[in-house]
């Protein structure tokens, strides 16, 4: 259940149109079969890496339409595009420097613990960012707030996301929950199976 929620969330994060001043949700035609993104993530506590791994998303043919495949599950891209934006969305469209909104989400993990995340979001800049996949212009979006759960936990939660419009997705994510740091960076991008990120580096 939690893996499917995270898969949908990650897929939602990938949708962004492309200009230097604003970013809108694109249409289905902006995605091509074979397009692929790969991220490496790690969880660090007191300076030691406690967990790490790799995630990827690839555009595939899914029952006659386009879908995102992560190696285990596939979700229709149109299903994500057609979702109505809530009053407290994770991403508020269009995106532009200076925009602010409230983000709230209720969730449940694999152990059955229920929780709620409530954060104030702000697009603070549009800047060049270097990740293992290369250098890209990206919106820096900060989320600051609280997280609570059914076990009585309550603490501060901060996230910073960098969205690269040219790649239609985030290229870096930092999370600080007060106990450790979670880092996720884009290591590879290709428009199709014959291309790699070196073609897009500045």
- DSSP label of 93: S
- Are 39 and 162 in contact by the 8 Å Cβ rule? The answer is no
Residue 198 pLDDT class (50, 70, 90 cuts)? very low
Query: 2-199 architecture in CATH?
Result: Beta Barrel (2.40)
Q: In this structure, what token pair is assigned to residue 87?
A: 């009053």
Query: What does the pLDDT look like over 76-105, one tens digit per residue?
Result: 999 998 888 899 999 998 999 999 999 999
Q: List C-alpha distances in Å: 54 to 23, 51, 71, 197.
A: 27, 11, 11, 17
Residue extents of the structural domains in the chain: 2-199
CA atoms within 13 A on the CB side of 145: 18
- Distance, in Å, from the CA atom of 147 to the CA atom of 179, rounded to the nearest integer, reads 13
For 77, residues 6+ apart whose C-beta sits below 8 A from its C-beta are 11, 28, 31, 59, 65, 66, 67, 68
Query: What does the pLDDT look like over 3-12, one tens digit per residue?
Result: 444 455 555 5
């Amino acid at each position: 259940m939690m893996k499917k929620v995270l898969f949908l969330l990650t897929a939602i994060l990938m949708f962004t149109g492309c200009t230097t001043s604003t970013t809108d949700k694109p249409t289905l035609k902006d995605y091509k079969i074979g397009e692929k993104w790969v991220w490496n993530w790690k969880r660090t506590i007191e300076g030691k890496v406690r967990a790490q791994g790799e995630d990827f998303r690839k555009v595939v043919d899914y029952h006659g339409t386009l879908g995102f495949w992560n190696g285990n599950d596939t979700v229709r891209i149109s299903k994500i595009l057609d979702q109505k934006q809530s009053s407290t969305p994770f991403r508020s469209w269009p995106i532009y420097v200076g925009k602010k909104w409230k983000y709230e989400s209720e969730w449940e993990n694999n152990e059955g613990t229920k929780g709620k995340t409530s954060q104030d979001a702000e697009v603070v800049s549009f800047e060049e960012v270097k990740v293992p996949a290369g250098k890209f212009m990206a919106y820096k979006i900060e989320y600051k707030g609280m997280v609570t759960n059914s076990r009585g936990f309550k603490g501060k939660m901060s996230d910073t996301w960098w969205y690269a419009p040219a790649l239609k997705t985030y290229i870096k994510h930092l999370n600080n929950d007060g106990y450790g740091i979670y880092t996720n960076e884009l290591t590879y991008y290709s428009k199709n199976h014959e291309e790699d990120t070196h073609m897009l580096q500045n």
